[in-house]
Amino acid sequence: MLPYNCGIAIDEGWNEMTAEVKIEDIVVGDGKAAARGALITAHYRGWLEDGTEFDSSHKRGEPFRCVLSNNKVIQGWILGLHGMQVGGTRKLWVPAALAYGERQVGLIPPHSNLIFEIELLEVLTRD
């Protein structure tokens, strides 16, 4: 389990070997829905399973913008944000296989399952 003060708890049934993203909607939005290929703007925080925060757009003071595509973000975000609506806040439990796998990236060790809390601020699509 993660330390209480980080506001995250791992579901006891979550298998770290799974290749699925676990999703919990904290707040359901009512705006445009995210989809593969969309340009999104979001605030987020990311933790390792031990509660170590490895990244936060809040701490940088500006939201994160990215295209939901394979060469722009981890697969866990593409799968976990699909269908999420602007105005919503979602928690994602992303297995290592859908994050960085065997690679170390910054503070994230190899084979790390990741936890994110994401607030979706904007979705832009070509339609």
Are the beta carbons of 46 and 114 closer than 8 angstroms? Answer: yes
Mark whether 54 is an active-site residue.
yes
Mean per-residue pLDDT of the chain: 88
Share above pLDDT 70 across residues of the chain, in percent, rounded to a whole number: 85
Does residue 7 belong to any structural domain of this protein?
Answer: no
Confidence check: pLDDT of 6 > 80: no
pLDDT band at 15 (very low <50, low <70, confident <90, very high): very low
Does residue 120 belong to any structural domain of this protein?
Answer: yes
Q: Which of 8, 40, 74, 78 is catalytic?
A: 74
Q: Give the pLDDT confidence score for residue 82 in this predicted structure.
A: 95
**What CATH number should be reported for the domain holding residue 45?**
3.10.50.40
pLDDT band at 12 (very low <50, low <70, confident <90, very high): very low
Mark whether 116 is an active-site residue.
yes
Taking the C-alpha atoms of residue 28 and residue 101, their distance in angstroms, rounded to an integer, is: 30
Does residue 8 belong to any structural domain of this protein?
Answer: no
Closest CA to 82 of 125, 45, 47: 125
Mark whether 100 is an active-site residue.
yes
Does residue 96 belong to any structural domain of this protein?
Answer: yes
- Three-class SS state of 115: strand
Q: Which of 10, 23, 54, 64 is catalytic?
A: 54
Are the beta carbons of 101 and 74 closer than 8 angstroms? Answer: no
Instruction: Look at the chain and report how many structural domains it folds into.
Output: 1
List, for residues 34-93, the tens digit of each pLDDT value: 999 999 999 999 999 999 999 999 999 999 999 999 888 999 999 999 999 999 999 999
Q: Picking from 14-18, 68-72, 120-124, which range would have the lowest pLDDT averaged per residue?
A: 14-18
Are the beta carbons of 79 and 69 closer than 8 angstroms? Answer: no
Q: What is the C-alpha radius of gyration for the chain, rounded to an integer number of angstroms?
A: 14
Mark whether 74 is an active-site residue.
yes
